[in-house]
Amino acid sequence: MEILRLFLGFCVDPNWARENAARKLKSPRKIKPNEVVPFTPSEVASIVNACNLFGQSAYERLRARGMILVLRYTALRIGDVALLARDRISRDGNRWRIFLRTEKSGQPVFLPVPADLKVALDALPVPKGAKGECRYFFWSGLGSEKCMKANADRTLHAVFKKSGIAGAHAHRFRHTLATELLGP
């Protein structure tokens, strides 16, 4: 804004412009950016442990733990986690990897899958309502994708609440992973 005002002021002096229209523009509000703080290792442990206290059955606890660990190690969005297909996890030599195109941007994502995430995904029960083998980890394939994303969001919200971590939300896992990858 300041550069525009200076430039148009410069244009008025030699009569290239009749007036400095930028003077009439209001300055933008000073909006403080949201400070998203990554989870500490102890906060991550509290959230993972909260999965053991969540829900009324082992089925719900295993699914919540799986979702939390996928968020933790991949930093995917909730929608991508909720609709994660089993064929997106594959073996690459002696390690496992996840490869998918994100729902929001369609960009390819390729990440290694740590052993504890693989164990959690292998322990997941078939989603309720699925007929036989299911293509997805968390969704039965029945009902709408929007409904499944909302269910995943409610599950995560309940786990975060149970963990007692103030300000816990799924997006913080994106900052946590980025911080770990960029750190020493």
Report pLDDT digits (tens) over 5-22: 888 888 888 888 888 888
Counting as low any pLDDT under 50, the low residues of the chain are none
Integer-rounded Cα radius of gyration of the chain: 23
Q: Are 97 and 109 in contact (CB under 8 A)?
A: no
Distance CA 55, CA 57 (A): 6
pTM: 0.78
pLDDT at residue 40 in the model: 94
pLDDT at residue 108 in the model: 84
pLDDT at residue 13 in the model: 84
Report pLDDT digits (tens) over 86-104: 999 999 888 999 998 877 7
pLDDT at residue 15 in the model: 87
For the chain, give the secondary structure using H, E and C.
CHHHHHHHHHHHCCCCCCCCHHHHCCCCCCCCCCCCCCCCHHHHHHHHHHCCCCCCCHHHHHHHHHHHHHHHHHCCCHHHHHCCEHHHEEEECCEEEEEEECCCCCCEEEEEECHHHHHHHHCCCCCCCCCCCCCECCCCCCCCHHHHHHHHHHHHHHHHHHHCCCCCCCHHHHHHHHHHHHCC
Q: Are 155 and 67 in contact (CB under 8 A)?
A: yes
pLDDT at residue 41 in the model: 94
Domains detected in the chain: 1-31 (no CATH), 41-182 (1.10.443.10)
pLDDT at residue 122 in the model: 93
